[in-house]
Amino acid sequence: MERFKVKLQLNGEAVELDVNPSETLLETLRDRLELTGAKDGCGLGACGSCTVLLNGLPTRSCIVLTAELDGSEVSTIESLADGTKPAPVQESFMEKGAVQCGFCTPGMILTAKGLLDRNSRPTKEEIIRSISSNLCRCTGYKKIVEAVEAASSTETPKT
């Protein structure tokens, strides 16, 4: 089977990949690039644990083929912190107790980040609508909503 060449901006760096056409973005990230922050929770796009930002939009990487992405920008949870300093949204997830087992956390944070990047002051309803894309089995979502609310007052609006 022929390979497929893909150029990506991955976490701010240009990468050139030679992938199998049937490879999903999640497989590329986890198996090829050792970026294991994105989790494989269901493999069918139902849970959101594999969420990454694709051209800024929260996207389930388990149902996207890497071959589709030539020229795209992909950001994973590993790129969110500024060096060792967590991003404000990561800080607020920690401070508000929005993290329990941590399996849904990377995807949840990137879904929240995607929202805050396009709407720096979302209402509670908008927050709930956005994070209803992702399953969490531990928290009951209350502290996640509170964390995103808190982050919305500290996150620098993107212009």
Partner 1 sequence: MITSKFEFRSPKDVEEAVRLYREFQGEAVYLSGGTDLVPRMKLGLEKPKAVIDLKRIVPLTTVEDQGDWIRIGPLARIFDLKQNDLVGDYFPALEASLEATSCESLQMRGTIGGNLLQNSRCLFYNQSEFWRRSKGFCLKMGGESCNAVPGAKTCFANYCSDNAPALCTLSAEIELSGPDEVRRLNLEELYTNKADKPFDLQPGEILTAIFVPKKKSIGGYEKLRVRGAIDYPLLSAAFSFVDGTGKLAIGAVGPKPYVVEMKQPSHDAIGEAVEVVLKQVRPVGNTVLDPDYRKRMIPVLAGRLINKVMEGAK
Partner 2 sequence: MDREYTIVGTRMTRTDSLAKVTGSASFTADLKLPRMLCAKVLRSPHPHAKILNIDTSRALRLPGVKAVVTAADAHGVKWGVFKYTQDHPMIAVDRVRYVGEDVAGVAAADEETALEALDLIQVDYEPLPAVFNPEDAMKKDAPLIHEEYANNINVHVHIEVGEVDEAFGQAHLVREDTFHAAGEAYSTLEPYATVASYANGYLDLWMPNAAPHVRAKALSNLLKMPLNKVRVRRINVGGHFGSRSEVSPGDLVTSLLSMKAGCPVKLVLTREENAACTRQVHDIQATIKTGVKKDGTITAKEFRVVYDGGAYSSTGPIAASIPYYVYEEAYRFPNVRYNGYRVITNKGIRGMYGAHGRAFLCGNEMQLDMIARELGMDPMEIRLKNGLKVGEETATKSVIISGGLEEPIRRAAEQANWTEKRAGLTEGEGIGMGCVAVMCGFPMGFRSGSACYVKLNDDGQATIVTGICDTGMGNESMAIQIASEVLGIPVEDISLVNADTVVTNLDPGAYSQAASFVGGNAVKRACEDAKRQILGFAATKMNHPAEDLDIRDRTIISKTDPSKSMPMRWIVREAFFQGKPIAATGAYMPKVDFQREWIKKPYGQMAGTFSFGCSVAEVTVDKETGQIRIPHFVAAHDCGNPINTMAVEGQIEGSVQQAGVAVLTEETRWTEGLLLNPDLLEYKVPLACDMPEIEPLIVCSNDPEGPFGAKEGGLTTRMNAYSAVVCAAHNALGVPLNEFPLTPDRVLKALDAAKGGDKS
Interacting residues toward partner 1 by CB under 8 A: 1-2, 4, 21-22, 24, 27, 43-46, 48, 51, 57-60, 63-65, 67-68, 70, 111, 114, 129-130, 132-134
Residue 49 contact among partner 1, partner 2, none, beta carbon within 5 to 8 Å by kind: partner 2
* CA proximity to 50, closest of 68, 33, 63, 66: 63
Residue 1 contact among partner 2, partner 1, none, beta carbon within 5 to 8 Å by kind: partner 1
Residue 81 contact among partner 1, partner 2, none, beta carbon within 5 to 8 Å by kind: partner 2
Pairing of strands 51-54, 57-60: antiparallel
Nearest approach, Cβ of residue 45 and partner 2 (Å): 8
8 A C-beta contact, residue 38 and residue 80: no
Query: Rounded to a whole number, what is the distance in angstroms from the first to the last CA of the chain?
Result: 44
Instruction: Report the Cα 90 to chain-centroid distance in Å.
Output: 12
Instruction: Report the Cα 138 to chain-centroid distance in Å.
Output: 19
Nearest approach, Cβ of residue 159 and partner 2 (Å): 25
Q: Whose Cβ is closer to partner 2: residue 54's or residue 93's?
A: 93
For 20, the 3-state DSSP assignment is coil
Q: Which residues bind partner 2 (CB under 8 A)?
A: 30, 34-44, 46-47, 49, 76-78, 80-81, 86, 90, 93-97, 99-106, 109, 128-129, 131-132, 135-145
8 A C-beta contact, residue 127 and residue 148: yes
